[in-house]
Amino acid sequence: MNSFEDASKVGKEMMDNSLKGYAAMTKGMQAIATEAADYSKKSYEDGVAVFEKLAGAKSLEKAMEVQTDYMKSSYESFIAEATKMGDLYADLAKEAYKPFETAMASASK
């Protein structure tokens, strides 16, 4: 009888840990999707603004200046976003693994 209760307890713990891991994955993926959508929207808006500035440029020098400024800010924005997304993915992996890590620690005792 004792082994059945132990097996039931282990099964319940595994299910609880799986659900916690799934919840962490869902939360992390939502954060990543929101961040990606926000970045895409900002990138599109910045592109439209630059196009409008280019259309209104009175000289080739001004157009080159607008384009150069846009490329520089676009690159910096991309690098910042890539770093942020990398951090979000790392946090996602840590949070999703955490319930299983505690289960393994308790099982090894």
If one compares 17 and 88, the residue with the highest pLDDT of the two is 88
Which residues touch 9 (CB under 8 Å, ≥6 apart)? none
Tally of domains in the chain: 1
Q: Return left, alpha or beta for 59; rule: phi > 0 is left, psi -120 to 50 is alpha, else beta.
A: beta
Which residues touch 96 (CB under 8 Å, ≥6 apart)? 21, 24, 25, 28
What percent of the chain stands above pLDDT 90?
63
- pLDDT (tens digit, 9 = 90+) per residue, 53-94? 999 999 999 999 999 999 999 999 999 999 999 999 999 999
Range of the domain at 58: 2-107
Tell whether the model's pLDDT for residue 107 goes beyond 70. no
Confidence at residue 68, expressed as pLDDT on a 0 to 100 scale: 96
Distance CA 77, CA 75 (A): 5
pTM: 0.76
At 5, is the pLDDT very low, low, confident or very high (cuts 50, 70, 90)? confident
Check if the beta carbon of residue 101 is closer than 8 Å to that of residue 41: no
